[in-house]
Amino acid sequence: MDQAVTLRSFMEDESPAISGTRVIAVSSGKGGVGKTNTVANLAIAFARMGKRVLLLDADLGLGNLDVLLGLAPRFNMGHLLRGEKGIQEVLVDGPEGIKILPASSGVQELTALSTEERLCMASHLEELESLFDIMIIDTGAGISDNVLFFNVSAQEIMVVVTPEPTAITDAYALMKVLLNKHGERRFKLLVNEVKSRKEGQDVYRKISLAAERFLNISVEYIGCVLLDENIQKSVIRQKAVIELYPESKASQCYQEIAREICELPVQDGLKGGMQFFWRQFLARSI
């Protein structure tokens, strides 16, 4: 009972948010489209623009953001929830000053945490409110409850897709489910692994026309990433391509997309920032 009272008090607090953190969920309809690579490279591109970036690895059970960046976290969210470590001890330093909150295959799913565990995490994360400009959530692929939860809780939803027919179909399905179950009507689309910029535009048009005609939702084209052999080389070396090959085709694309996102204002009527995200997170306990 005491926990429930504390939880409701936390959620009903009308105090203004103390940060303008922009919360972006990055998802995909299917795996293997380069979603995590996109997250890592965009984060570094944002950091080079002077943004303070936090990455939340929310691909629970299959999180590999740390592996992709060649990091070996000593602690994870499990240590935080058990009270063994504080939030600053769990955060991992990534390239260009980005910070990463690592998940672990041994950590219970966030959407299945007890009220006490949620309160514990929310309390710790309050410490981060004023420390970051952008928080990127690397969700899992598909339409599981976890994926939907993190997308609904974020300010902006970015869907990563490739020109493959199955990737296009699954990206459309993800947006359809988010609309039908949660009323989400705004999406950003990033087309990965394209042979030309025209191919990226073509994929966007296919998805956008279908979404507008059959779902009546808005899909905004945020850019494309060109096929680049340097990406695979970077993955093998456990570095972001933007670190190892800053002048490569893919790196240039990531930088363009990061600039595009930063130049776009947060539209009126969008959900709040990090504070809203964690209030949504806590709401699942009631």
Both structure tokens of 173 = 């399905």
Residue 214: DSSP 8-state: I
Burial of 271 (0-12, 13-18, 19+ CB in 10 A): middle
User: Rounded to an integer, what distance in angstroms lies between the CA atom of residue 260 and that of residue 263?
Assistant: 5
Question: For position 16, what pLDDT does the model report?
Answer: 40
Q: Which residues of the chain have pLDDT under 70?
A: 1-19, 60-63, 104-114, 117-118, 266-276, 278-286
Prediction pTM value:
0.87
Parallel/antiparallel/unpaired status of strands 99-101 and 92-93: antiparallel
**Domain architecture of the chain: domains with CATH:** 22-106+131-272 (3.40.50.300)
